[in-house]
Structure 1
Amino acid sequence: MHCPECGTKRSPGAATCGACGFALATLEPAQKGAAVARTMMGVSLADLAKGPNAAQEVDPDAPTRVMPGTKNPPKPVVPPPPENRTIVGMPALAPSAGAKPTPAQAPAQTLLGVVSPNAAAPGASPAVKAPPPAEGTLLGVARPGIAPLRATDPSAEPARAGRAREMPHELGATIVPEVMERLRDANNARPPARDRDRDKLARKRLVLPPVQPRGEIPRERVRKNRRRALPVILTAGLLVVFAGVFAVLYTSPPPLTARVKATPEGREAVEIECPSCPDGTKVQIHAASADVKKHVALVTLPAPLALGENRLKVSLDRPGSGRDESVGVTVHVSYRLRPDLTGLANEKPSVHVAVEAVGGTEITIDGKPAAVKDGPAVHVIDVASDCTGPADEPATLKRRVPYVVKTEGGAREEGAVDVAVGIVPLHIDAPGTRVIVEGETFVLAGRTMKGAEVLAAGKPIQVSADGSFAQRMSVSSVGSTNIEVRAKAPGMAPRIVPIAVRRVEKLAAAAHEFMADKPLGYAAFAAAQASDVGKPAVVSGEIVDARTQNHQTIFLLDVPVKEGCPKGQSPCRVRLVHGFPNPAKAGEVITAYGQLGKPWSAPGSSVVPEIQVAFTMPGERR
């Protein structure tokens, strides 16, 4: 069976058309053994009731009928009586033998013609007589005396040959639900619920849009897609133009510049350069932070970075209502040169520069190649000379170590490692840097900064809270003894003061030996330069003033003319500093042997020479 709506062949048992969705009515047999047949044109229900071969009896006098569109005429079929005319394709119900028609089996008026349900039973009178034949014929029913559907005149064949060949179609119609209900009521069969639902669906007619040719569908879609794509293309073009204009006119601030540097304390830091950051901007990396000064901030890191790529998040907090933001920067560490201050605790203080680099990097530090192929290297800088000598105030040890780096890619970088560290102060009051004694003991006294530690000959001595100290030292035998006094504090370079102590049996013999070195007299050291400090000197004169403090004696000596004081410039004064308690008093004449020190000046007085006394002898020089 084909769908009456679209002509698509129906699948067996389908309730709706698979192509257009049209509801297809089904017909259930009213009784067991009853067959539902579908008739072709010119086949009556009575012929179908006679059997499958009843419609094949041939009447030679009957007119020949053919199916529309068929080429070869089929066998002639006996036309049914007028009263047994059926609707084309109408199913005919074949009742069982001996069944009597009931009043409910009245003929039902259908779309084309009249259905005679009991026409197949021989001898049975229909409940309603068929209408008399009209002038015309029903669709698919041949009337005697009317010409057959196919022309028998051979001359008519050429006329038909010019027309397009018609495809054979099955002409028929589906029984409407009312006819199905009446047929079922005639057989005392009530349709099930699903049939009633199908009947309801059959009453609904689906209106489908006209089917377009296959060639028109792609062209229509192309036109629609073009219409839809045109606004998108225009919008994208405008966005591209706007982006180009924005990129040309808008000048974004320069990005942050980050590089690794070493602090004066030897710690690793990241130097952030931000041209758009005003002074006072707070720059934070992890938990460390620093303020921007002249667009640069040095953020000291709690731990050194790893060699290679390091991704850091930099937070910028601009002062006031300035824009705050977080910027990600990448810091590449291909090598690392950092100062190491652990060498300051050695017997000879030194500063180390630790050198690390990735493979293929060559480093030359302070003019010497650093071997980094087998791992980190250490460059040693001797700073003992900067830490040696007395100093009343703290000083700063500074070193600038140049280096040259050649990376694996051939890039060359030059720079310097800056080292800056404080030096602990140390002043020696007694016995002085060079002393000559007759006794077996002397007193080591001086001062340093608070919290510093003092060692004499490698042994610690007691230091008071204010930094002063005094310790009696012993000289066990005659001869020279060198003592090193060292003051140290955490995070600072030590201060070293060497002391030369010589024990003699008689000071007179030591004076005779001292004069053999031709020491400077007053006339010579009065005009001495700063380069003459430390040279041996000798002077005689009358004591004007004498004071004892912190285990040392200070004299103010008046030098006579015969000792080199120019005439007319009297008095000529000299300041003597002796690191022993000296019993000499004012008005006495003494001779002092020692080394020339730095000039000394008292508030409100002129500058006078100073001598660090090694020993004194009573009386004038002979």
Structure 2
Amino acid sequence: MHCPECGTKASPGAVTCVTCGFALASLDPAHKAGVGRTMMGVALSDLAKGPNAGVAVDPDAPTQVMPGKGAQKPLAVPPPENRTLVGMPAPKAAAPAVKPPSPAEGTLLGVARPGIAPLHAREPGAASDGRGREREMPHELGATMVPEVMQRYRGDNPRPSSRDKLARKRVVLPPVLPRGAEVVHERARKDRKRALPVIVTAGLLVVFAIGFTLFYTSPPPLTARPRATPEGREAVEIECPSCPDGTKVQIGAVSAEVEKHTALVALPAPLALGENRLKVSIDRPGGGRDEAVGVTVHVNYRLRPDLTGLANEKPSVHVAVEAVGGTEVTIDGKPAAVKDGPAVHVIDVATDCTGPADEPATLKRRVPYVVKTEGGIREDGAVEVAVGIVPLHIDAPGPRVIVEGETFVLAGRTMKGAEVLAAGKPIQVSADGSFAQRMSVSSVGATNIEVRAKAPGMAPRIVPIAVRRVEKLAAAAQEFMKESPLGYAAFAPLGAEGAGKPAVVSGQIVEARTQNHQAIFLLDVPAREGCPRGQGPCRVRLVHGFPNPAKLGEVITAYGQLGKPRSAPENAAVPEILVAFTMPGERR
């Protein structure tokens, strides 16, 4: 038989279930031999005689319900050994001897086979349904037949006081899966075990990546700052620690080479105030990595040199100042008014551009500034200005000339492609930069003429010329002596330090020639003019930018100003006088 609680097959003669502990029924072998009751409770022998023939009615027997007739009165219950499956009596001679089955032979639907003990035993005090039938214990359809613990006793057998009320322990068995489902379930369980380390590892990698991103900041591949070129053009300074020398960096159409991890890229147009996003292409030499990097250049202010002021009558350099709102700018110690828009700081450079020069020169200025941003950040710097100055040399008439006539010749030279103006009027310049122009003096008196040479992108060169027209040179000599000019003994030892000072000297012409509209004499100064005795001849070089009729061997007196000394073949410096005019004979 099987345990009615958990379904476990029990051994013959077992009292309790080995799995759940449920109490199993154990019948007396002597009693089992006489068991012959059927499910309907009617013996076959009684049914053969008729429904009620000579059978006493047992009031405790269950009521027989016949199909289709509703409730019937109690039937006489034959002895249990004469009852059949269908409730009809059969001849006793025909009743075969049936071996009592074992408890394990119960049927699935709870119907007893012949020779099986009755399903329900009436016990004293058991509940009745009110019509003389005992109330059967409910059983689940499909459960294994449950033998009753208590049996119906005959005669003088004592009846138990109560039914066995052993507690039933409910055991929940796992669901039985098909064979294929068990394989799939086992495979899924193994897959889950294998997936767990992968999931944990992936989670750790994600945490590490997030931490690396938050706490590690790699250095930028390059940095960019606004700068200015020596010529005053706006540029971007690129600093690239990973770029070797020779790397080419390019912004737009302009490029530059990296030297010591830095390159200065001049821009074709100025950057805008505020934030500027630029794309920098990096071309490393050889097999180095090429890449394009986006950079942001912040321009909070701009100080830009402006060279347009060099064309003014008095040359000047301008520094244009622009700044975003809330920024204070102080340039060259003076505050710049940038609240209402761009401001201009003017630097006078006329002194640097004035005076003759045989070769081009460079005009340099360093303008310091202080910037305070709205956030309180202070930045000190300087605007560097460097621009070339056009050369200009005047051969005639010299820096100072006194004439009796109405005209003189203006001659000199400058650089190729330069333009020359005299008194604001352009004069013709040859391809090699030389020029010669006859000028007129309309009236007696002093006339100051400014000669200016200029070229695009350069500062001009200005040479002033003082021209004075007189009626008589003798009267001009007397006036000149009132300036206390230096004699030979006084100016000879000065050398270059005496340049520009008035001087006068007399002597004999020992050499004379004409070049570039100039009359050049070499004068032998006598002892009475200050030449030390016994030291050989004392010579002075005279340069007169005007036609001079004096000839070799004549004695003349020259009035003018000292120039730069000239070296002589004997390695002795020869003083030079830029002659304003000459008088024949010795000085009186």
TM over 0.5: yes
Aligned equivalent of 1:372, options 331, 338, 343:
338
Aligned partners of 2:326, 2:141: CA distance in 1, in Å? 90
Contact 2:110–2:119 (8 Å) recurs in 1:
no
Give 1:547 shift. Answer: 1.2
Tell me the equivalent position of 1:401: 367
Which secondary structure state, in structure 1, belongs to the residue aligned with residue 512 of structure 2? strand
Aligned partners of 2:121, 2:278: CA distance in 1, in Å? 99
Tell me the equivalent position of 1:310: 276
Letter in 2 for 1:480: A
Aligned partners of 2:199, 2:109: CA distance in 1, in Å? 59
Tell me the equivalent position of 1:421: 387
Tell me the equivalent position of 1:7: none
What is the number of equivalent residue pairs in this alignment? 457
For residues 64-110 of structure 1, what are the alpha-carbon distances to aligned partners after superposition, in whole Å with 9 as ceiling and x for unaligned?
Answer: xxxxxxxxxxxxxxx999xxxxxxxxxxxxxxxxxxxxxxxxxxxxx
For residues 119-149 of structure 1, what are the alpha-carbon distances to aligned partners after superposition, in whole Å with 9 as ceiling and x for unaligned?
Answer: xxxxxxxxxxxxxxxxx99979999xx9999
Tell me the equivalent position of 1:491: 457
State how 1:182-261 maps to structure 2 within 5 Å: 209=181, 228-234=195-201, 237=204, 255-261=221-227
Tell me the equivalent position of 1:45: none
Aligned partners of 1:389, 1:612: CA distance in 2, in Å? 15
Q: Percent identity, please.
A: 78
Letter in 2 for 1:568: G
Give 1:265 shift. Answer: 1.6
Tell me the equivalent position of 1:335: 301
Unaligned runs of 5+ in 1: 1-41, 43-54, 64-78, 82-135, 170-205, 211-216
Letter in 1 for 2:323: A
Cα distance, 1:375–1:157 mapped onto 2, change above 3 Å: farther
Which secondary structure state, in structure 1, belongs to the residue aligned with residue 260 of structure 2? coil
Contact 2:495–2:564 (8 Å) recurs in 1:
no
Tell me the equivalent position of 1:458: 424
Aligned equivalent of 1:582, options 548, 551, 556:
548
For residues 442-501 of structure 1, what are the alpha-carbon distances to aligned partners after superposition, in whole Å with 9 as ceiling and x for unaligned?
Answer: 111111100001111111111111111111111111111111111100000000111111
State how 1:445-594 maps to structure 2 within 5 Å: 445-594=411-560
Tell me the equivalent position of 2:252: 286
Tell me the equivalent position of 2:405: 439
Aligned partners of 2:193, 2:315: CA distance in 1, in Å? 84
Q: State which drifts further: 372-381 or 329-338.
A: 329-338
Matched, 1:60 2:69: no
Letter in 2 for 1:232: I
Cα distance, 1:142–1:252 mapped onto 2, change above 3 Å: closer
Letter in 1 for 2:514: T
Cα distance, 1:505–1:252 mapped onto 2, change above 3 Å: same
Aligned partners of 1:578, 1:56: CA distance in 2, in Å? 165
Cα distance, 1:234–1:544 mapped onto 2, change above 3 Å: same
Contact 2:543–2:576 (8 Å) recurs in 1:
yes
Tell me the equivalent position of 2:262: 296
Matched, 1:384 2:396: no
Letter in 1 for 2:70: V
Give 1:164 shift. Answer: 10
TM-score normalised by length of structure 1? 0.65
Aligned equivalent of 1:599, options 555, 560, 565:
565
Cα distance, 1:154–1:612 mapped onto 2, change above 3 Å: farther
Which secondary structure state, in structure 2, belongs to the residue aligned with residue 555 of structure 1? strand
For residues 566-614 of structure 1, what are the alpha-carbon distances to aligned partners after superposition, in whole Å with 9 as ceiling and x for unaligned?
Answer: 1112211111111111111111111110011111125664321111111
Give 1:531 shift. Answer: 3.8
Give 1:294 shift. Answer: 2.5
Letter in 1 for 2:348: D
Letter in 2 for 1:403: Y
Matched, 1:268 2:280: no
Tell me the equivalent position of 2:324: 358
Aligned partners of 2:356, 2:204: CA distance in 1, in Å? 80
For residues 233-254 of structure 1, what are the alpha-carbon distances to aligned partners after superposition, in whole Å with 9 as ceiling and x for unaligned?
Answer: 2355478779999999x99777
Give 1:329 shift. Answer: 2.5
Which secondary structure state, in structure 1, belongs to the residue aligned with residue 409 of structure 2? strand
Cα distance, 1:421–1:208 mapped onto 2, change above 3 Å: same
Contact 1:254–1:275 (8 Å) recurs in 2:
no
Aligned partners of 2:140, 2:224: CA distance in 1, in Å? 86
Aligned equivalent of 2:289, options 303, 318, 323:
323
Letter in 2 for 1:383: V
Give 1:276 shift. Answer: 3.2
How well do the aligned residues superpose, as a CA RMSD in angstroms?
Answer: 4.1
Contact 1:254–1:276 (8 Å) recurs in 2:
no
Give 1:224 shift. Answer: 7.2
Cα distance, 1:236–1:137 mapped onto 2, change above 3 Å: closer
Contact 1:357–1:376 (8 Å) recurs in 2:
yes
For residues 184-230 of structure 1, what are the alpha-carbon distances to aligned partners after superposition, in whole Å with 9 as ceiling and x for unaligned?
Answer: xxxxxxxxxxxxxxxxxxxxxx99958xxxxxx9xx99997675232
Which secondary structure state, in structure 2, belongs to the residue aligned with residue 311 of structure 1? strand
Contact 1:441–1:474 (8 Å) recurs in 2:
yes
Which secondary structure state, in structure 1, belongs to the residue aligned with residue 483 of structure 2? coil
Aligned partners of 1:138, 1:348: CA distance in 2, in Å? 129
Cα distance, 1:473–1:581 mapped onto 2, change above 3 Å: same
Contact 1:284–1:290 (8 Å) recurs in 2:
yes
Letter in 2 for 1:230: P
Which secondary structure state, in structure 2, belongs to the residue aligned with residue 299 of structure 1? strand
Unaligned runs of 5+ in 2: 1-39, 41-66, 76-85, 89-105, 129-133, 143-177
Give 1:306 shift. Answer: 1.5
Cα distance, 1:564–1:238 mapped onto 2, change above 3 Å: same
Contact 1:253–1:276 (8 Å) recurs in 2:
no
Aligned partners of 1:613, 1:593: CA distance in 2, in Å? 6
State which structure, 1 or 2, has the greater radius of gyration over its C-alpha atoms: 2
Cα distance, 1:247–1:307 mapped onto 2, change above 3 Å: closer
Cα distance, 1:137–1:287 mapped onto 2, change above 3 Å: closer
